[in-house]
Amino acid sequence: MADEIAIQITQVTKFYGSGTDSTRALHDISVAIRHNEFFTLLGPSGCGKTTLLRIIGGFEDFQNGEIILHGNSIKALPANKRPVNTVFQHYALFPHMSIRDNIGFGLKMLGKNAAEIRERTDEMLDLVKLTEYGHRRPAQLSGGQQQRVALARALAPAPRVVLLDEPLSALDLKLRQSMRHELRRIRESLGMTFIFVTHDQEEALTMSDRIAVMSEGELQQVGSPEDIYNNPANIFVADFIGQTNLIPGIVKATTADAAQCQLAGGQSIEVPLARQPTPNRGDTVKLSIRPEHMDICQPDSDSAQITGVLKEQVFLGTDMQFLIEIDDSILLMVRLQSTQDSLHRWNPGDQVGIRVNIGFVRLLTS
Amino acid sequence: MTGKSQDIRHYSGFLPISLICLVLLYGPLIIVMIYSFNDSPSITVWGGFSLRWYDEVFHGLEAPKFKKAAFNSFTIAIMAASTSTVIAVCTALAMLRCGNFRGKAVTFGLVSLPLMVPEIVTAVATLIFFSTIGFKAGYATILVAHIAFCIPFAYLPIAARLQGIESFYEEAAVDLYASRLQAFFQILMPLMLPGIISGFLLAFVISLDDFIITNFVKGAGVETLPTAIFGAVKQGIKPNIMAISTLLLMLSVIFVTLSYLAGKMGSRDKG
Ligand SMILES: Nc1ncnc2c1ncn2[C@@H]1O[C@H](COP(=O)(O)OP(=O)(O)O)[C@@H](O)[C@H]1O
Ligand SMILES: [Mg+2]
């Protein structure tokens, strides 16, 4: 039953406040989250991720829509009756309780007996590798350890769905990276549905089975990390996920499998349509070309599809980044691996050609 | 922090003004304390160290009167502080945890008004109220009046504490299947406890010390320590009054210190 739906969200709309000073936090959100999936809500700050998570958790009401958990509507269920647990952004560990009591709290509230609670707490402490810390208070643990306690506390009652609101954002970079692996490992070993919120696209890309990209309360695209990265549904997604060049252009002609596009500066490029919808002739579009999908060559070489002037090159460690101006109007960013060759081959002011891996170019209209 | 010129001690006149304030505030108290150990029956001439006035307080002629008054004071203070603390906790929860409701600002005004209204006005008003409804003056009227005017004193530290507790603790509890009641008793109340203790102790001291309102509503025959002391002083100040005052002062200092420490206690184990 790998494709069983854990949570079905249908046309959820949410306004904060009422009357004239109400803010629309969510608009017509519909998404199905599969059982056992690591599902990420990704979007810039203020786009409504926390609101959606709190609606699933039962902490916010909403004006319109429906939420089905494993076949049953949970719209009318209060938060303490939903088989859903949350890892809060600031952990919200109970400061007056030991780590063990924190982890066992959910089971205690569910009325489990002491032996069962003890056994499960041991199991959870082991899972998050904090066995020796059970008797400490939260304040006596480091940020990373508190984070793992918060996770263990949410997992202990074996909820059907775990909600995680930017759980890694308070950690420093090193810890954040190791916690990514930890989270994946733990989820895989337990087989639970995780709904994970982040504004960090790298976090989303590396951890998720599927990602929902949100902006201003609306769902922009839902798909696998590769899908979102390589086939962004619109300009917002292309721009938000990774880095890309968005070049204004006009569709001059289309055939069954390619579109002839004229760039703003006047040069033309042919874009294959195998993996994207066919635009109309005359459409104004943005061509999304990722910096790593281009290569620099001699301007008069046969493989040069566009030519321009090298403005600037920046050494980034493993990569070199080049800024190339086309027709005095468009700046293109190109990224190559730093080899001896790419380091010294061109100088600012040089006329250069650009070879585009056109299979990855996307024509976006909105 | 940013340099010596910011330090208040560098303003000219800081030292003399501070000294004057301290002497005016604490000088009389210290003199009372010192003279409570005076061996002489005079209240102005030092006659050597002695504990005779303390002995007099507990075993002298007036001892039964003071003991009765002390009993009244303590029982009233405990009941008034307990009741007003419970009311203050409920009020704080309503004010800070139940969103916006109509009359919230008015409620806050009503809760804190007794702190601003001259006590004599409250005293007269309370007296008129009791006589209007025909409530016979005595122990019960003192208790009711004390409960009422202790509420704002209990409320302030409790509300301050509750304000500092993020709502995500209760949300986490509810998320982990606690009912609202369980979330309150298992999570919120323990977190509020320093504020609750602090509020209780403050209310206790306020009740114990109160003179004006008590004097108005007490009726004949029922005395609390402050009214008993006042009654005794009217017949001339004897050193045993100083001894009682010193004992009362010590008690207040202890309770206020405990209240302060209770308030501090929480900020240590938070976060
Ligand atoms: N309690 C609230 N009252 C009013 N507006 C809110 C409240 N919480 C969030 N909002 C607004 O709703 C929008 C979405 O917020 P949020 O869900 O917290 O975004 P995110 O988690 O993606 O940063 C924002 O515009 C925010 O200002
Ligand atoms: Mg958020």
Per-residue confidence band for B33, with pLDDT thresholds at 50, 70 and 90: confident
Confidence (pTM)? 0.83
> Measuring from atom 26 of ligand 1, which residue has the nearest CA?
A46
pLDDT tens digit sequence for B93-131: 998 988 777 888 888 888 888 888 888 998 898 889 888
Q: What is the pLDDT of residues B51-92, one digit of tens each?
A: 888 888 888 778 888 889 999 999 999 999 999 999 999 999
Assign A2 a pLDDT band (cuts: 50, 70, 90).
Answer: low
Taking 3-state DSSP, the helix, strand and coil percentages for chain B, each rounded to the nearest 5, stand at: 75, 0, 25
What integer pLDDT is reported at residue B40 of this predicted model?
80
Per cent of chain A over pLDDT 70 is 99
Query: What per-residue confidence (pLDDT) applies to A290?
Result: 94
Q: Ligand 1: which of A42, A47, A220 to mutate, most ligand atoms within 8 Å of CB?
A: A47
What's B36's DSSP letter? T
Q: Is the ipTM of this complex over 0.90?
A: no
Quick one: average pLDDT of A191-211? Answer: 93
Please say if the pLDDT value at position B43 is more than 70.
yes
Cross-strand pairs, A15:
A24
Identify the closest residue of chain B to A106 by CA–CA distance.
B176
Which residues on B lie below 8 Å from A124 (Cβ)? none
Which residues from chain A sit within 8 angstroms of residue B166, using beta carbons?
Answer: 90, 92
Q: Which of B174, B175, B269 sits opposite A95 (nearest CB)?
A: B269
Given pLDDT bands bounded at 50, 70 and 90, which one contains residue B271? very low
- Using CA coordinates, name the residue in chain B closest to A150: B172
The 3 state secondary structure assigned to chain A is: CCCCEEEEEEEEEEEECCHHHCEEEEEEEEEEEECCCEEEEECCCCCCHHHHHHHHHCCCCCCEEEEEECCEECCCCCHHHCCEEEECCCCCCCCCCCHHHHHHHHHHHCCCCHHHHHHHHHHHHHHCCCHHHCCCCHHHCCHHHHHHHHHHHHHCCCCCEEEEECCCCCCCHHHHHHHHHHHHHHHHHHCCEEEEEECCHHHHHHHCCEEEEEECCEEEEEECHHHHHHCCCCHHHHHHCCCCEEEEEEEEEECCCEEEEEECCCCEEEEECCCCCCCCCCCEEEEEECHHHEEEECCCCCCCCEEEEEEEEEECCCEEEEEEEECCCEEEEEEEECCHHHHHCCCCCCEEEEEECHHHCEEECC
- Calpha distance A276→A290 (Å, rounded): 16
What pLDDT, on a 0 to 100 scale, did the predictor assign at position B270? 44
- The predicted pLDDT at position B266 comes to 59
Specify the pLDDT at position B267.
56
Segment B53-64, tens digit of pLDDT:
888 888 877 888
Do A94 and B271 make contact, defined as CB atoms within 8 angstroms? Answer: no
The pLDDT value recorded for residue B4 is: 53
How far apart, in whole angstroms, are the C-alpha atoms of residue B65 and residue A205?
81
- pLDDT bin (cut points 50, 70, 90) of residue A110 is very high
Q: CA triplet A139, A144, A150: central angle to 5 degrees? A: 70
Judge: A79–B179 Cβ closer than 8 Å, yes or no: no
| DSSP at B270 | -
Taking residues A276-301, report their average pLDDT: 90
Confidence band of B1 (pLDDT split at 50, 70, 90): very low
**Could you tell me the pLDDT band of residue A340, with boundaries at 50, 70 and 90?**
confident
d(CA B209, CA A360): 82
Average pLDDT over residues B217-230: 86
**Among A121-135, A169-183, A292-306, which range has the highest average pLDDT?**
A121-135
Residue type, B5: S
Q: What is the mean pLDDT of residues A259-286?
A: 88
Calculate how close chain B gets to A33, using CA atoms only, in Å. 20
**What is the C-alpha to C-alpha distance for residues B36 and B30, in angstroms, rounded to an integer?**
10
User: Mean pLDDT over all residues of chain B?
Assistant: 86
Distance CA B139, CA B73 (A): 10
CB A105 to CB B271 under 8 A?
Answer: no
Residues of chain B with Cβ-Cβ distance to A137 below 8 Å are: 269
Instruction: Please tell me the residue having the least CA distance from ligand 1 atom 20.
Output: A46
pLDDT of B5: 57
> Residue B134: what pLDDT?
83
Q: What residues of A are in the B interface, CB distance below 8 Å?
A: 57, 59, 78-81, 84-86, 88, 90, 92-96, 105-106, 109-110, 137, 139, 153-154, 157
End-to-end CA distance of chain A: 37
What residues in A contact B171, CB-CB < 8 Å? 59, 79, 86, 88, 92
Res. A149 pLDDT band, cuts 50 70 90 = very high
